[in-house]
Structure 1
Amino acid sequence: MDLKLIEKYKALGIADILDHEKFNNISVVHHSTVLEGSTLTEVETQVLINEGLTPKGKPIIHSLMVTDHFSALKFILKEAGKKRPISVPLIQEINSLAIRNTGSVYNTILGVVDATKGEFRKGNVTAGNTYFPNYDKVKDLTRDLADKISGMMKSNISVVDQLRLSFDAHYSLVSIHPFYDGNGRTSRLLMNYIQHYYKLPLAIVHKENKADYIQALIDTREKQDLSVFRGFMDKEYTHLLKSEIQRFQEIKHPKKGRGFSFLF
């Protein structure tokens, strides 16, 4: 990761621009929900969040995915700002908010699981050829992960290690797959939580790179090498920062004849 990009981003004061945070948050929500199947465009996402208007002709569940994710994002930004430690209840609360109106209730031989309440799964799950840990290990694995993250966040670590911690937490939680619904969204929100905790720009997994994202997760598991996923996220983060810096500079110093334009 080129730390000069982070320094330049902060020095330009991009995050201090009026409404930039909200526009950036909308982008985070848009890309994350599209990864999970939403068909809303970024403009439709913006209109839904800002004005409460759902796009015509598209499944209502896609709009609910967006509004749920936005609520969860606002929650993690607030809690990270208060420096709340990472814990199992926090992770469950993030999951609960992320799928509040889209999660399901599962009847299993071990009992009922209401996914909308952030309850852990009580059954084994797979995704393609990937087998996730047995359900009876989920609680302990999630607790161990939360304790490890929280412990590292109590120490004085470099910016590089802060970013790696956020990427590793993302990978580790989605690999545990502790919930029936919303594991990807929850894992990306946990990553964003750590980034906001350290006052870093929020990372986005861009929708157009979904196949590479999934492949990076698979390759990391097969090779048991976190550097694979870190490398993918480094590229995503670098792309995001460069795009934001370029857009800001074009607004501040538009090329002759181009004039001023808004993203939305």
Structure 2
Amino acid sequence: MGGSTMTILVLSLDTAPLLAAVRAVLDTDDLPAAALIGGLAVTVRVAAPATTYRATADIDIVTTDADPTLVELLTNRYHTTEPIQVAGIKVDVIPTPPVTTDDLDGIDDGPRLFVASHRWALDTAEPLTLATPDTDAFTVDVATPAALLATKCHAVGYARTQRRATKHGADMLDVYRLVETYNPDGELATQVHDAPGHLAPVIAHVIRTEILANPAKAAMAMASTSPVPVDTEDLAATLESFIEDLDTGPA
């Protein structure tokens, strides 16, 4: 009898501690719905099955606001307090309640982008099987590229001062690489138009003001975290095309 073949995405050896932490989180009893977002999720989406993308030192999990919460479950199991440490890795847990269009009406762009994008990331996450060359494979729900882009655009456009000072280049790089990888045919823009909360104009505004307003400056900031050079002309052309797709809307 024939059977389906599981596709394993093999990441670089330096992600092994991060994957161990993700695996430990998933091993929590009564685990509520949860999905991987953040830098490691972007690495999975743009680098696998290649071996390198950019360094990241923590993991980000979006989850429901169930009772007990994932934060409570993790702090009890690992005898830790926030910031949560699991297997030696900082774990940022973002609980998100269900949201409707009515819930988002009248909310400013920044909070609306945060709330809608993170719930979208949870609701549309896909199971992917991950490993490194030296670790066993396991399966975790990972946010889709479109939802990741939306969450990353919030980080780029509405980050707190500390994050902007330390992670702005990496967050902009994540936005660029997601668009570069997933929007050659306009598909990523089409998916963003389907996001809850009418997020396409907000995302377009963030990219225009934070990256396209000064592509050379943005490329320099990205270069500090990228393992490969960031070409200013390619950056501008790629994101301008994406913005045009967002402005035009689905065909």
TM-score (norm 1): 0.24
Larger Rg belongs to: 1
* Greater per-residue strand proportion: 2
* Greater per-residue helix proportion: 1
TM-score (norm 2): 0.25
